[in-house]
Amino acid sequence: MQKKIILLILFCFACSINVLAEHKVKVTVVEKGTQHPLVGALVSFSTNKELTHAIKAVTDTDGKALLILEKEDIAHYFYKISVTGYVPITDILPLAEKELKVEMSEDVMYINGAVVTGSRTERPVKLSPITTQVLGGKALVDAGYSDLQHALQQETPGMNIQKVGFGNEISMQGLDARHVLFLQDGERMTGDMAGNLDYERFNLHAIDRVEIVKGASSTLYGSRASGAVINLISKKATKPLDIQAGMRWAQRNERNYKNPQPKDFLYMFEKNSDRPNLQAWVSAGMKQGAFTSQTDVLYSESDAFYMYQSEHDKKVYTKEANPFLPHDITLTSVAERSPMGIEGTEHISVAQKFYYEPCDKLSVQMYGSMFFLNSYDLIQDMTFSQTRDFMAGMKARYDVKDWFSVNLSLHGDFYDRFKRHERIDERTKVYKSRILEPRLTLTSTYFAGHSMIFGVEHTTDDLTSDRFVNRKMTTRSLHETEYFLQDEWTPNDHWMLSTGVRTNFSKAFGFMWMPKIAVKFSPDNHWAIRANYSMGYRAPSIKELFFNWDHLGMFQIKGSEDLKPEKNNYFSIGAEYSKDRFFINVNAYGNFFRKKIEGIWHIYDMQYNFEYINLNSQRMLGIEALLKWRMTDNFTLNATYSYVNVSKQNGIQVNTTSPHAATGSLDYVFSRPNYRLKTIFSASLMGKKKFDVQDRVWVEEHKKSYEAYFRCTLPAYVLCNLAVVQTFYNKVKVTLGVDNIFNHVPHTLGSGITMFNVPATCGARGYMQLEFLVDDIVKSLKRKK
């Protein structure tokens, strides 16, 4: 009996010693100003400054975390707190302290978050060897953008996304959409027209961030990444339950028909051309243990409208572009220019993602999405376009000890386009595109200072269209197998060297290889110097090879099976400086193309033909600057500038890019507990454009006509937007704003086909947007009961 009592006393004594050896710290993490708790913040405590062997915890729905630390013979602990969208905090906590409250500021500089696009491995933006621009999804919504097109054009230097009669047209750094690769969570999409996707597919309210890498990225992303990569990273739930919903209403662009009646022969046409500008969305996330689910739904509709030219067409045939002319010739049309119709749309998108992460070594993801789009033009031909897309895939990652990680993925995208009769329930398929892409990658950080990646992927691309042969549905295919290898070596805190190579084999064009090398030097924590060389490669697309389509006798698009792959050598050097509230990045580049594939307008028998050909060479030189300055706690200035010079072809300027482009915004934030006011005034400048278009002209002195180029000049313009965002109790957000606040309307559409290069706007339009955090509102109501 005495032995039992003694053992019990010893056991209690041991437990008390163990309890005394523990040190509990209660951590509370809130947003600065509003004092709203931050969920999912990672809290790390360690006895050393490097935070090795740290004790970690994640904040709950109340922004709280409890850490149980072993008492050490030290004076204080080192800690770091980080959460997406906020500036990380690193500091020390005296050993005697048992509670810690941290206020975190929004990361308006966007240089602290992890990015993956430049190297396919996560690392902070400022540590990336490749210059990467990051746009926060939440910030884009707060700025009042209704869609991704407007957000990118306003926030990215040198980018122009123009809505035209048949869809969208994009250009950046003197390159069109065929050289700009859009990715959704690192995966390709299909269904493009002349390289342009249906950008309506992208739900801005489902995007966590946008990562933009300019320059040839073919080493990691294949032949279509010869100009730039834009990767849209989706949201992923971090709370047990996170439901957000919202709606947006905007003024109509133009009222074309008043009170259409069902008895009218053109009733459906009249109704569809005047749809309201509305959006509604729901984003629902759930995280329970190892399982995470994310669902995003968006419905949107917009009305069609006309753009008008204030003067008659004027064509100037310059002696510079046409040396055989005796002098410049100016011709003015006797008839008024017909208005240009900008189509309206109605679409819905649904995306679902499931994640299973039972441990740190294993993660599995399955995803799928659906997209349906109706496009309503202003041509009274009793038809409109319908689009549907299904995208699905799965990804898995497994870590083999600390040696390497195995990443497997299978991705598919299935896109169809139809012509639908407005009155009869009947439609005809005119376009079918399929892409299937399996991929295997191995990543390793086993060797000190090295981050390595090896991968192999195969792409099967099938396109069925009535625009190949005599308007008959015909299928064309391309198959490519690609291998890539990259190593990022960090010998010390100052230097980083990234080298890589990609090989490409296709049945049509044989074997190709693309190397790259990038160097980053950081003399201290504020400065970074980057230099980059990469080879780009782009095989001709199926459309460029095989298209032969006559559009109602207005123009014809012709491909060529004799096209060769284009190559480009991209060089860039840049400097970056960041300190507390200030960030600036300046980058100069040169892009040198051989056998560049270009679409050229020719005229035959008074009909325009758009023909794809290989140019001998084309050179692009440019400089870009990006500035972020948090002047005070309340005011933040953002600005970008882009200049590009594109070489002429035998004295002819075929490229339609503006040399100068700039954007800027001034943000004002006023915060109080449970209330925030944010005002954003933004502006984008697109400089004057000058380019030459082929035509025919009669020369009176010679008494004959010639094929000649007329000079198209489009004036510079500025578009300004204003958004006022109020957030109440971090549960309800109300936005009032005006797009194109100074009512800019283009008065010149250009001559002939050049109308594709003017901003598609009909003037100032106001909007109102309302957003709710549904789950937080429901919780608040339950508490009151």
Interatomic CA distance for residues 495 and 454, integer angstroms = 22
pLDDT of residue 132: 81
Could you tell me which of 97, 92, 81 has the C-alpha nearest to residue 30? 81
* H or E stretch covering 545: helix 542-546
* Burial (0-12, 13-18, 19+ Cβ within 10 Å), 268: middle
Q: What is the DSSP string of 15-57?
A: HHHHHHTEEEEEEEEEETTT-PBPTT-EEEEESSTT-TT-EEE
Q: What is the DSSP string of 226-272?
A: SSEEEEEEEP---SSEEEEEEEEEE--S----SS--TTSTTHHHHHH
pLDDT of residue 15: 47
pLDDT of residue 265: 75
Mean pLDDT of the chain: 84
Interatomic CA distance for residues 47 and 75, integer angstroms = 9
Interatomic CA distance for residues 205 and 350, integer angstroms = 12
pLDDT of residue 215: 75
pLDDT of residue 21: 54
Interatomic CA distance for residues 439 and 599, integer angstroms = 32
Helix (H, G, I), strand (E, B) or coil at 221: helix
Which residues face 301 on adjacent strands?
278, 346
pLDDT of residue 207: 92
What is the 8-class DSSP label of residue 187?
A: B
pLDDT of residue 700: 87
Token pair for residue 589?
A: 């580049």
Could you tell me which of 371, 370, 368 has the C-alpha nearest to residue 352? 368
Four-point Cα dihedral 647, 650, 656, 660, nearest 10: 30
Interatomic CA distance for residues 468 and 485, integer angstroms = 37
Domains, the chain, in order of start with CATH, read 2-104 (2.60.40.10), 114-375+438-784 (2.40.170.20)
pLDDT of residue 116: 74
pLDDT of residue 194: 61
Helix (H, G, I), strand (E, B) or coil at 774: helix
pTM of the prediction?
A: 0.87
Could you tell me which of 140, 160, 136 has the C-alpha nearest to residue 662? 160
What is the 8-class DSSP label of residue 196?
A: B
pLDDT of residue 18: 44
Interatomic CA distance for residues 542 and 544, integer angstroms = 6
Mark the ranges of the chain whose per-residue pLDDT is less than 50: 13-20, 165
Could you tell me which of 113, 102, 95 has the C-alpha nearest to residue 65? 102
